[in-house]
């Protein structure tokens, strides 16, 4: 029976599927290198939180598949996996609606000053209502940076709620044009014209700290920043300066550079900053879809099948896969 090591438990739908066909071990750790003996047993690793690099893969002689319950692969050395003939299973589309809804929820939460108003009201300050920090969102322009599946769904919901939408994505500009949104060819033009900027791009070498002091300075004064993508995209020191100086009216994020998020982070001292714990995809419905698709893909690869939803389809040209199912430890 194959051994599946999980950094953390999947939602029950996926767990039940794995447990029926494999021996499952839950590490409850975002650093699998803390227990290399455990990792060394694994035929499959399902990584919810943490990183898998070339060194860790080399310590896992039986490893045949790495799975990510979502589409983010910045925590996996995909090139090293491909070189070793290890498919990196992903779950595309399973969480896009939930993440898009969360992004829009954050737009409303920060735009209506919900969190500060709750905290101050709970503390006996009914007068917080007179701060007039809330804005009316109908007619406001939302800038979508990154027009993949989640960015497109976020744009659609915003437009259906009477917001105007601009899009910046140098890789797929035609989609914005065909769907009736304003396409900006330059990021600076979007930043200068939008009341809200929502980030929906992966973390890559090109996008890490893509939003820093110069980008915040280029944003419309009093604009809001939303980030449901990856924490590494934002320079948090620059964000603190932009928020504390009131250059930006507020920021609402589901991701931060250091996760699990640390309460000592000085951003939490600001009343115009709110964060949720990387939970945008964790609705019951999305978790059921994502965990099931992740489990299905993991088990399929362990059976030697060419599962289509992988981040590295070129892996199937690796010698390990040329003669059908690769044996354990091949």
The residues that are catalytic are 230, 259, 278
Whole-number Å distance between alpha carbons of 251 and 226: 6
Whole-number Å distance between alpha carbons of 180 and 166: 10
CB under 8 Å, gap of 24 or more: what pairs does 269-273 form? 270/240, 270/243, 270/244, 271/116, 272/110, 272/116, 272/133, 272/243, 272/246, 272/248, 273/243
Phi, psi dihedral angles at 69 (to 5 degrees): -75, 75
- Residue 29 makes CB contacts below 8 A (sequence gap 6+) with 7, 35, 50
* Strand order across the 3-6 sheet: 23-26, 3-6, 44-46, 65-67, 88-89
Handedness of CA 208, 210, 211, 217 (dihedral sign): positive
Q: How many residues can be counted in the chain?
A: 330
CB 109 within 8 A of CB 84: no
């Amino acid at each position: 029976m194959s051994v599946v090591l999980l950094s953390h438990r999947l939602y029950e739908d996926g767990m039940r599927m794995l447990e029926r066909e494999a021996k499952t071990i839950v590490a409850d750790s975002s650093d699998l290198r803390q227990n290399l003996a455990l990792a060394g047993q694994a035929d499959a690793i399902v990584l919810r939180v943490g990183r898998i690099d070339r060194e860790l893969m080399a310590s896992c002689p039986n490893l045949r598949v790495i799975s990510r319950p979502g589409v983010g692969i910045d925590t996996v050395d995909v090139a090293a996996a491909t070189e070793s003939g290890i498919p990196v299973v992903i779950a595309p589309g399973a969480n896009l609606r939930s993440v898009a809804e969360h992004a829009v929820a954050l737009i409303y939460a920060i735009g209506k000053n919900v969190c500060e108003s709750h905290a101050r009201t709970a503390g006996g300050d009914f007068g917080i209502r007179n701060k007039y920090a809330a804005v009316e969102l109908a007619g406001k322009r939302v800038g979508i940076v990154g027009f993949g599946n989640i960015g497109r769904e976020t744009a659609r919901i915003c437009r259906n709620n009477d917001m105007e939408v601009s899009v910046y994505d140098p890789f797929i500009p035609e989609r914005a044009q065909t769907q009736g949104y304003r396409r900006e060819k330059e990021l600076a033009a979007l930043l200068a014209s939008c009341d809200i900027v929502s980030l929906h791009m992966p973390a890559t070498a090109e996008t890490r700290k893509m939003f820093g002091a110069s980008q915040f300075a280029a944003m419309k004064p009093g604009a809001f920043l939303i980030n449901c993508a990856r924490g590494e995209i934002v320079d948090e020191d620059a964000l603190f300066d932009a928020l504390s100086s009131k250059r930006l009216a507020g920021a609402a994020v589901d991701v931060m550079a250091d996760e699990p998020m640390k309460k000592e982070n000085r951003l939490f001292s600001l009343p115009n900053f709110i964060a949720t714990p990387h939970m945008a995809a964790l609705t019951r419905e999305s978790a059921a879809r994502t965990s099931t698709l992740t489990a299905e893909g993991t088990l399929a690869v362990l059976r030697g099948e060419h599962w289509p939803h992988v981040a590295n389809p070129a892996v199937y040209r690796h010698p390990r896969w040329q003669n059908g199912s690769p044996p354990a430890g091949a």
